[in-house]
């Protein structure tokens, strides 16, 4: 089973996660929390978590892309070797 994730899908997923994290952080304001230091920490954590997710998806995308490229190179090399023999 191949796991193929396009760059667009990875970025969209990362963006959705970032928005969700920001919404969760903003819930503090909804409950009338006046502690701005807490709000700042929550927003910073949400941004950091979203950034971490984007980085993970970028790595996944790059590894998947590299696996596809490697497979294509193997096919080219195998075909070239077979044509030399034939």
- What does the CA dihedral 66, 70, 73, 79 come to, rounded to 10 degrees? -150
Q: What digits encode the pLDDT tens for the residues 10-67?
A: 777 777 777 777 777 666 555 555 677 778 888 899 999 999 999 999 999 999 999 9
**Predicted local distance difference test score (pLDDT) of residue 9:** 73
pTM of the model: 0.52
Q: What CA–CA distance (Å, rounded) separates 59 from 50?
A: 14
- CATH 1.20.58 holds for 7-85: no
- 3-state percent breakdown (helix, strand, coil) of the chain, nearest 5: 85, 0, 15
Tokens of 5: 């994730």
- Boundaries of every domain in the chain: 7-85
């Amino acid at each position: 089973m191949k796991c193929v994730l396009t760059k667009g899908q990875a970025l969209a997923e990362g963006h959705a996660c970032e928005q969700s994290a920001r919404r969760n952080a903003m819930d503090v304001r909804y409950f009338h929390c006046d502690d701005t230091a807490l709000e700042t920490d929550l927003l910073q954590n949400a941004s950091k978590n979203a950034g971490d997710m984007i980085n993970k998806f970028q790595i996944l995308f790059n590894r998947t892309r590299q696996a596809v490229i490697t497979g294509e190179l193997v096919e080219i090399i195998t075909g070239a070797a077979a044509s030399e023999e034939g």
